[in-house]
């Protein structure tokens, strides 16, 4: 598996060099050419006082541009406002009396659907800035910080990793970790490598899924923020969450502080069930 460096470079370019909206490709702030015009004017001017003033205005423009970019992000204001951000969270049960809230950034529909598919299935890195803008809409859960929480990315199977050559969820979760300043934790593995989901009924698939994750170490903190790219029924996140609730111990045991985890889940997009 490749490192995160190439992805990071692409994101840096999108964020600081390419000033077009990642969705409509229209300039989202002052074009570079205009900025250069300003710059050459000031360098031609040899009156030092005026040069200083020109330099000052150039700095003002640069600062203004940077502020604009930070506030509007990687989308232009029009595109940003046209999206349905943060749909109402939905819940799945993970044990008797314990439900898992799942918050998605947006819906799995145009343009997110196309972008996620291109990224996941064709490793189309040009879609990454758009996905990053989307991840950044997720507000950091209240009270969570780097000392009391970890992000648990949906583990992939070795089979899928070999087939795709990269793990989209780990790349996206690394960006979420950066955005929230909460570390990733890799203490769960996926154990369903050899079992194919194909040809199974829905009930069989779900039962398969419920045994798909195993803890390989004890989480260092009590607050667990699960992350997946797309969540439709929430079944995968539900199964992942259940890995933290031991089947031998009934849910009531988890009321004790030493086994009680606060689990919530996040996704890039919420797919429709139709």
Cis-peptide, bond into residue 111, ω within 30° of zero: yes
Q: 213-215 and 188-190 as β-strands: parallel, antiparallel, unpaired?
A: antiparallel
Number of chain residues interacting with Zn ion (CB under 5 A): 5
**Chain Cα centroid distance, residue 218:** 24
- Position 267 contacts Zn ion (CB under 5 A): no
Least distance to Zn ion, CB of residue 20, Å: 8
Nearer to Zn ion, 8 or 137 (CB): 137
- Report the C-alpha dihedral over residues 206, 108, 88, 232, rounded to 10 degrees: -10
Least distance to Zn ion, CB of residue 27, Å: 9
Stretch binding Zn ion (CB under 5 A), from 76-84, 87-95, 119-127, 231-239: 76-84
Which residue of 11, 14, 74, 76 would you call a contact of Zn ion, by CB under 5 A? 76
Rounded distance, CA 136 to CA 64, Å?
21
Stretch binding Zn ion (CB under 5 A), from 45-53, 79-87, 128-136, 140-148: 79-87
Nearer to Zn ion, 19 or 76 (CB): 76
Rounded distance, CA 233 to CA 89, Å?
12
- Write the binding mask 16 to 35 for Zn ion: x where contact by CB under 5 A, - elsewhere: -----x-xx-----------
Rounded distance, CA 68 to CA 209, Å?
45
Please, what's the b/e burial string for 64-76 (b: 16 or more CB within 10 A of its CB; e: otherwise)?
ebeeeeeebbbbb
Stretch binding Zn ion (CB under 5 A), from 14-22, 48-56, 61-69, 214-222: 14-22
CA-nearest of 139, 127, 217 to 172 is 127
Stretch binding Zn ion (CB under 5 A), from 69-77, 92-100, 105-113, 221-229: 69-77
C-beta separation of 129 from 15 below 8 A: yes
Nearer to Zn ion, 24 or 58 (CB): 24
Which residue of 74, 79, 128, 269 would you call a contact of Zn ion, by CB under 5 A? 79
Least distance to Zn ion, CB of residue 13, Å: 18
SS3 of 185, please?
coil
Q: Which residues bind Zn ion (CB under 5 A)?
A: 21, 23-24, 76, 79
């Amino acid at each position: 598996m490749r490192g995160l460096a190439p992805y990071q470079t692409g994101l840096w370019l999108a964020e600081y060099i390419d000033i077009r909206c990642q969705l409509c490709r229209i300039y989202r702030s002052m074009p570079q050419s205009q900025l250069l015009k300003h710059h050459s004017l000031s360098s031609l001017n040899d009156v030092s006082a005026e040069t200083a003033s020109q330099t000052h205005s150039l700095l003002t423009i640069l600062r203004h541009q940077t502020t604009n970019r930070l506030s509007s992000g990687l989308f232009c204001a029009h595109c940003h406002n046209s999206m349905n951000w943060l749909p109402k969270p939905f819940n799945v049960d993970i044990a008797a009396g314990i439900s898992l809230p799942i918050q998605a950034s947006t819906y799995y529909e145009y343009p997110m659907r196309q972008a996620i598919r291109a990224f996941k299935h064709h490793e189309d890195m040009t879609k990454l800035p758009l996905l990053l803008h989307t991840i950044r809409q997720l507000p950091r859960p209240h009270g969570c910080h780097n000392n009391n929480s970890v992000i648990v990315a949906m583990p992939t199977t070795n089979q899928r990793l070999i087939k795709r050559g990269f793990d989209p969820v780990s790349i996206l979760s690394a960006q979420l970790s950066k955005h929230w300043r909460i570390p990733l934790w890799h203490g769960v593995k996926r154990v369903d490598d050899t079992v194919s989901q194909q040809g199974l009924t829905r009930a069989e698939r779900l039962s398969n899924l419920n045994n798909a994750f195993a803890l390989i170490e004890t989480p260092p903190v009590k607050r667990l923020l699960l992350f997946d790219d797309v969540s439709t029924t929430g079944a995968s996140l539900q199964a992942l969450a259940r890995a933290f609730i031991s089947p031998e111990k009934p849910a009531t045991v988890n009321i004790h502080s030493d086994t009680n985890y606060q689990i919530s889940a996040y996704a890039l997009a919420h797919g429709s069930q139709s």
